[in-house]
Structure 1
Amino acid sequence: MSQNLLGESVDAVVRTIFDDDPGELFVVNPSGETIGELVDVANAYEGEVPSIRLLGDERTLKDVTDDFLVASTAATLVEDDALELRTVDCNARSSMLVTADRTVALVKVGRLVGGITTDDAEFAETAYDAVADDWEDSEPFTLRTPAIDRVRQTLDAKLGTDVKADFQAILASMENARGDGDGLDGVTVSLLAAAKNRELFYDISKWGEDVGVASKATFSRTKTKLEDLGLIDTEKVPIDIGRPRLRLKLADDRLEDAPPAELANAAQSVLS
């Protein structure tokens, strides 16, 4: 049974498999880093993406989908029927990529991840059948984050092009956008983009709840936290009927004209 090195990174390995147009790809017991790279490659791939069936450890999937960037991009793939996520006890399985005629073991050495593949037909068939059985015994994993395409479209429609552009630029300047305190989550990024453009808190929180980013209560708690940390401020705006609404603004006027990356760095340094 001959073996060869398919690639020296998850990105390279996945692209090579996609280029072979397999139709279906099982991703078994991936690490969080592998999931993130897989989602990025599938999202950017210009050809036909196979039907990706990801079988992962539940804890790993929960951890990696705390990252707003990964989760929202994965949600777009799910909506496009290009990705399905399920959980299973992965202790008995190595980390590997499996198609009907190829099995690739992902081997991590230091910072490198190599894809060791075999061309043995009998082995590939056995591996495929075993993983297909695991898939049948697995449980669906549901993403709670909305698709990034829908986030962008609705943000543009509800709050305008400038808010959407700043939202995207802040995300693009970050390696992750986590909801566990290790970075900026989707709610924080939304509020910063809204404050930079002096939007009403009511409008951004209603948008966020409607599209599924988070509840109004979560937006309110995050707003208060950002106020307490001196990142954003509010001013009352009278309305014809009812209580005045709050207009968001950046607490430091110097950040109003700052590049989004600088705003993101300022926020991350305060929140860390």
Structure 2
Amino acid sequence: MTSNLLDSQLDDILTRVLSDADDVIVVNPTADAIEDLIRVAIDADESLPSIRLLADERTLKDVMDDFIVASNAADLIDEGSLALRTTDDDRRNSLLVTADSVVALVDAGDQVGGLTADDGGFVDAAYDAYDTQWDDADEFGLRTPPISRVRETLADEISADAESDFTTILDSLETARGDGDGLDEVTISLLVAAKNEALLYDISKWGEDVGIASKATFSRTKTKLEDMGLIDTEKVPIDVGRPRLRLKLGDDRLRDAESDELASAATSLLA
């Protein structure tokens, strides 16, 4: 790749660089660039290069608070395509560094420019410098489970319908943070369980086992949703011990909603 990438969207630049390289070091990306990188990598039709992402820790933490981004990133990590490390130096330019070129990302408002340097001596020096910085950097501990594992285990342990509803709800959302900009993964899981009338015990055990959240977090969120009228429960007797709780949707607007409308209906009720 020898030409500058101007009049482009960031997705286009990332796609071009990933398709031309065997190894890419992504240096000091913005939050938007990290999100775009994960999306482009997940959607790639071709095999991916090794992607080493070296970013400010605060930026990474903020981006990975979104379950949609983090669970897709975890999939890429799980398959060996992506690694995350942190740097305290956020003064550097945003760069895409490969063995053949260095691309500086320049945000020009409505578009992003990729200014490309391909002088052999300069590229070698830059690659060696960031390769060394990578070796010295701390690994970023991503605790979110891979989305493929979440879907597979949800289908196995709850039902195929629950997995389909979960996937449809996620696809209808731009973000899954639970901070006012969207539902979080625990709330989504409980709504899916209620739609499919699963037991609280089963969905919370699944959520804890797969790494979404603890049983206590599921219980607290269930109580909040029940208090707000989104979820109802009924007791289900068992042979030994206390009855378990079956989850049901508690509002007609949720019961009448299709899977792709459930998130927006729940968000309106939670507002």
TM-score using structure 1 length: 0.95
Whether contact under 8 Å (1:30, 1:95) holds in the other structure is yes
Query: Is structure 2 residue 93 aligned with structure 1 residue 98?
Result: no
Query: Is structure 2 residue 197 aligned with structure 1 residue 233?
Result: no
Q: Which runs of 5+ in 1 are unaligned?
A: none
Whether contact under 8 Å (2:9, 2:112) holds in the other structure is yes
What's the counterpart of residue 78 of structure 2?
79
What's the counterpart of residue 9 of structure 2?
9
Q: Partner letter of residue 19 of structure 2?
A: D
Q: Partner letter of residue 9 of structure 2?
A: S
Q: How do 1:92-131 residues align onto structure 2 when only pairs under 5 Å count?
A: 92-131=91-130
Q: How do 1:242-253 residues align onto structure 2 when only pairs under 5 Å count?
A: 242-253=241-252
What's the counterpart of residue 48 of structure 2?
49
DSSP-derived class of the 1:241 partner: coil
Whether contact under 8 Å (1:66, 1:180) holds in the other structure is no
What are the superposed Cα offsets for residues 165-206 of structure 1, whole Å, 9 maximum, x if unpaired? 000000000001115443211111111111111111110000
What's the counterpart of residue 28 of structure 2?
29
Distance 1:17 1:123 in 2: 18
Distance 2:112 2:228 in 1: 40
Q: Which runs of 5+ in 2 are unaligned?
A: none
Query: Is structure 2 residue 120 aligned with structure 1 residue 157?
Result: no
Whether contact under 8 Å (2:208, 2:214) holds in the other structure is yes
Distance 2:45 2:109 in 1: 30
DSSP-derived class of the 1:183 partner: coil
Distance 2:231 2:85 in 1: 39
Distance 1:172 1:140 in 2: 29
Cα distance, 1:26–1:7 mapped onto 2, change above 3 Å = farther
What's the counterpart of residue 38 of structure 1?
37
Cα distance, 1:253–1:180 mapped onto 2, change above 3 Å = closer
Please report how far the alpha carbon of residue 6 of structure 1 lies from its aligned counterpart in structure 2 after TM superposition: 5.3
Whether contact under 8 Å (1:71, 1:145) holds in the other structure is yes
Whether contact under 8 Å (1:233, 1:249) holds in the other structure is yes
Distance 2:7 2:14 in 1: 9
- What RMSD in Å do the two structures reach over aligned CA positions? 1.5
Distance 1:7 1:247 in 2: 54
Paired positions, count: 270
Whether contact under 8 Å (2:10, 2:112) holds in the other structure is yes
Q: How do 1:150-229 residues align onto structure 2 when only pairs under 5 Å count?
A: 150-229=149-228
Please report how far the alpha carbon of residue 270 of structure 1 lies from its aligned counterpart in structure 2 after TM superposition: 3.2
DSSP-derived class of the 2:4 partner: strand
What's the counterpart of residue 270 of structure 1?
269
Please report how far the alpha carbon of residue 256 of structure 1 lies from its aligned counterpart in structure 2 after TM superposition: 2.2
Cα distance, 1:206–1:228 mapped onto 2, change above 3 Å = same
TM-score using structure 2 length: 0.95
DSSP-derived class of the 1:239 partner: coil
Q: Partner letter of residue 165 of structure 1?
A: S
Distance 1:92 1:130 in 2: 16
Q: Partner letter of residue 13 of structure 1?
A: I
Cα distance, 1:179–1:53 mapped onto 2, change above 3 Å = farther
Distance 1:51 1:33 in 2: 20
Q: Partner letter of residue 106 of structure 2?
A: V
Runs of 4+ off more than 3 Å: 179-182
What's the counterpart of residue 18 of structure 2?
18
